[in-house]
């Protein structure tokens, strides 16, 4: 996989397609990216006579039905093992499109063009692909990286504040699992203005953290589990929000999950309280909290037991003893998890 920060998306995309030398080019979009993002690569669509595949937008459409639609379109339109699929959109598109490409005819090549901040730092890079299944996030999938990932921050101009914040939470995660310098740079960023010029160098640093980890452990057998920090609680919050008809953005759920796992890190591994409090204030100022009550505890715990990171029926966490001091394969008892949820409810306004 090669990641390219592009100032001219059409020029760089043409160069990548030429290197792959595909017999046919297909482009996957959703309703939103077809309208707002596809026009930015209009010349590519025309010059390569690309077929456009469109699926409904929204994470609830990252499912088997949408996947089958992509497979069926590729099959009916004579895609071969030498064809290329270009996924242009947010994490739903790059996850589903990457999985479709990885499995169609036992694998065709694909390019990701992430159009949201979250998809840049989370779904589009690192090679994880998949769909949601039986109410569980990314339950079915494979690890298979894109040939290229093309990043152009101009796409972020169409995003609202919440979607920018959703992506930024993953950048906070990368800072916490890396080093003090990245952490200081991240917490110094002005979230009130979200200047994209100022964001780009932080984004490059954030991706470098992820790419360094993935290069050392592409199949998530060891170090790559660091990238799961905040996600054990986070995925449970996210699944619960969908069940309760109040769907939360992925990055917000991870932000809430990181607070829980920082508290668990504090009680289990003496993670510094002052950093925990700084992070709690960031949540209060920009992310808020998902409202839960004690009746939700059992369901949250049950959702956590289904997390695919678990081993030997134990709930698996990545925790921190300090910034950059990663402790993988940590576990907690049900009582400890409920204690964390008590803390979460106490700090939530």
DSSP 244: T
| pTM of the full structure | 0.91
pLDDT tens for 212-245 read 999 999 888 899 999 999 999 999 999 999 999 9
pLDDT for 313: 67
The sign one gets for the Cα dihedral 343, 257, 212, 309 is positive
pLDDT for 254: 97
pLDDT for 288: 96
Name 30's bridge partners. 55
pLDDT tens for 67-115 read 999 999 999 999 999 999 999 999 999 999 999 999 999 999 999 999 9
Alpha-carbon gap, residue 149 to 346, rounded angstroms: 41
pLDDT for 221: 85
Alpha-carbon gap, residue 116 to 130, rounded angstroms: 18
Q: Which residues of the chain have pLDDT under 50?
A: none
Domain ranges of the chain: 2-158, 162-347
Q: Using alpha carbons only, give the angle 309, 314, 317 rounded to the nearest 5 degrees.
A: 50
Q: Are 116 and 167 in contact (CB under 8 A)?
A: yes
Helices 161-176 and 250-269 cross at an angle (nearest 10°) of 30
- What is the fold, at CATH topology level, of the domain defined by 162-347? Dehydroquinate synthase-like, alpha domain (1.20.1090)
Q: With DSSP H G I counted as helix, E B as strand and the rest as coil, what are the percentages for the chain, rounded to 5?
A: 55, 15, 25
pLDDT for 125: 86
Q: Which helix (H) or strand (E) holds 76?
A: helix 64-76
Structure tokens at 251: 């990055």
pLDDT for 259: 98
Alpha-carbon gap, residue 86 to 108, rounded angstroms: 11
pLDDT for 112: 97
The sign one gets for the Cα dihedral 223, 224, 228, 229 is positive
pLDDT for 138: 85
Residues 6+ apart with CB under 8 A from 271: 262, 265, 319, 320, 321, 322
Q: Are 10 and 58 in contact (CB under 8 A)?
A: no
- What is the fold, at CATH topology level, of the domain defined by 2-158? Rossmann fold (3.40.50)
Structure tokens at 31: 């309703």
Closest CA to 92 of 71, 62, 56: 62
DSSP 95-151: HHHHHHHHHGGG--EEEEEE-SHHIIIIISSSSB--EEETTEEEEE--B---SEEEE
């Amino acid at each position: 996989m090669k990641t390219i920060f592009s100032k001219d998306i059409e020029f760089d995309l043409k160069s990548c397609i030429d290197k792959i030398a595909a017999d046919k080019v297909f482009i996957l979009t959703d309703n939103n990216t077809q309208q707002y993002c596809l026009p930015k690569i209009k010349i590519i669509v025309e010059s390569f006579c690309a077929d456009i595949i469109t699926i409904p937008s929204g994470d609830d459409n990252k499912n088997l039905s949408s996947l089958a639609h992509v497979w069926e379109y590729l099959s009916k339109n004579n895609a071969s093992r030498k064809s290329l699929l270009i996924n242009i959109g947010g994490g739903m598109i790059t996850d589903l499109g990457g999985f479709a490409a990885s499995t169609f005819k036992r694998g065709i090549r694909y390019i990701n063009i992430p159009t949201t901040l979250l998809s840049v730092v989370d779904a589009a890079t690192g090679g994880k692909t998949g769909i949601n299944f039986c109410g569980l996030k990314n339950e079915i999938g494979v690890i298979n990286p894109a040939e290229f990932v093309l990043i152009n921050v101009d796409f972020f101009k169409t995003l609202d504040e919440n979607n920018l914040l959703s992506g930024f939470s993953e950048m906070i995660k990368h800072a916490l699992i890396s080093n003090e310098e990245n952490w200081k740079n991240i917490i110094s960023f002005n979230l009130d203005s979200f200047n994209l010029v100022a964001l780009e160098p932080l984004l490059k640093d954030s991706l470098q953290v992820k790419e360094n980890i993935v290069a050392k452990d592409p199949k998530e057998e060891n170090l790559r589990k660091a990238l799961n920090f905040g996600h054990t609680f986070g995925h449970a919050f996210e699944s619960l929000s969908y069940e309760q008809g109040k769907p939360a953005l992925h990055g917000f759920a991870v932000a809430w999950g990181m607070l829980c796992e920082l508290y668990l890190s504090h009680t289990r591994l003496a993670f510094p309280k002052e950093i925990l409090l700084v992070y709690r204030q960031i949540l209060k100022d920009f992310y808020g909290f998902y409202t839960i009550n004690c009746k939700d505890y059992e369901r949250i715990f049950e959702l956590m037991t289904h997390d695919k990171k678990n081993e030997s029926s134990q709930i698996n966490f990545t925790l921190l003893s300090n910034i950059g001091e990663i402790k993988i394969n940590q576990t907690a008892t049900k009582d400890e998890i409920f204690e964390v949820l008590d803390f979460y409810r106490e700090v939530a306004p």
